[in-house]
Amino acid sequence: MKIITKGINAANDSPRTIIRSAIEEYAGERGVEETTTNNPDEAFIEQVFYQLMIFFFGGDDALSITIPRVFRQLQLNPECVAKLQAEDDAILGSDPSLAAEKIRESPHILDSLQYTLGVIKETLRMNPATITIREGQPSFNLKINGEDEPWPTDGFDLFDSSITIHHDPANFVDPLKFMPERFSALEGDRLHPAKNIWRGFQLGPRKCIGQELAVVVLKLVLVFTVRSFDIEMAWDKWDKVREFQGLKLDRRIVEGERMYTTGKATSHPKDGAPMHVRMRTSATE
C-alpha cells in the first residue's frame, strides 16, 4: 500500500509507472486534476493494489509457461537463433556484455527487436499461454454447418480454443511450422495473419492483464541468453535423477514431444521442462 501512496504523490515529470497511469485515468474520470494524499480514496487504493497483484501474477504465470517453449523451439530451429543473434548485434551492439547498459539508457530500444517479438508471438501461436471462457447470452446463438436450428449459448460457458484457431490452416499457412516471419509479413502477404486471429494472450476485456509485462520480460530473457548460452532439453539427466531417487519414470510422447502441455487451469510443460544450460565460449559460435 505504501508503494501505491508513493505513486500517488509522484511528481508529474517523474517516470511513468503502472500506478501513475492508473491514477491519471482515474483522476480524469472524476474530473479532477490529481489524486494526492490530501484527498486519499481508500477504495481506489485498494482496487489498484488488487489489480496490481493480478497484473504481476498474470505476467509471471505467462512467463513460466512460455520461456521453456521458446527455448525448445529455438533448439528445434537453430536458424532462428542465428537471426536473433544478428538482430541483437545490429540493434544492441556486437558485445553482449554491454546490452544491459544500452537498454537502461534507452529502454524503448526493445521495441526495435521485431524478429525477437516474432519468435515470442510464434511460440505463443503454437502453444498459447492462456485460455478464455465466456458466459453464454440469450442474444448470442451459434450457427453450426449442417444444422438448421441455431444452437443457444444461454446457460452455457463458451470455451474459445486458441490452439485450435492457431493450428487451423485456414488461419495460418503451414500452421505446424515455426515461422516468426509471419508477424513481420506485410498485409497481403500469404503469411500475414488476419486481424484478431492471433490469440497468444487472448482478446477482449478478459485477455491476459500481464501480457505487456510478459512480452518485455521475454524480450529481455532472449537478449541476455541467445548470444551467451546454449540451451536444450535435458531429459537424459532428468531420467537419471529420477531413477537414482527411485521414482517412477514417465517417458510418454504426445504429438512428437516429451515436453507436452499439462495442468488443470493454466498450462505448464511436462515435468517443468528440464534443460541443459551451457555457456557459449564465444558469441559467434
Residues tagged in the binding site annotation: 208
Name residue 190's amino acid: R
* 257's grid cell: 514431444
- Beta-carbon-side half-sphere exposure of residue 48 (alpha carbons within 13 Å): 24
Using alpha carbons, select from 2, 43, 44, 47 the residue that is nearest to residue 27.
Answer: 44
Q: Do 136 and 153 meet the contact criterion of CB atoms below 8 Å apart?
A: yes
- Beta-carbon-side half-sphere exposure of residue 274 (alpha carbons within 13 Å): 11
Angle at 164 between CA 161 and CA 170, to 5 degrees: 130
According to DSSP, the β-strands at 151-152 and 141-142 are antiparallel
Q: Do 200 and 125 meet the contact criterion of CB atoms below 8 Å apart?
A: yes
Q: 116-131: buried (b, 16+ CB within 10 Å) or exposed (e) per residue? A: bbbbbbbbbbbbbbbe
Q: Do 275 and 269 meet the contact criterion of CB atoms below 8 Å apart?
A: no
- 10, with CB counted inside 10 A (0-12, 13-18, 19+), is middle
Residue stretches of the annotated binding site for heme: 208
- 159, with CB counted inside 10 A (0-12, 13-18, 19+), is exposed
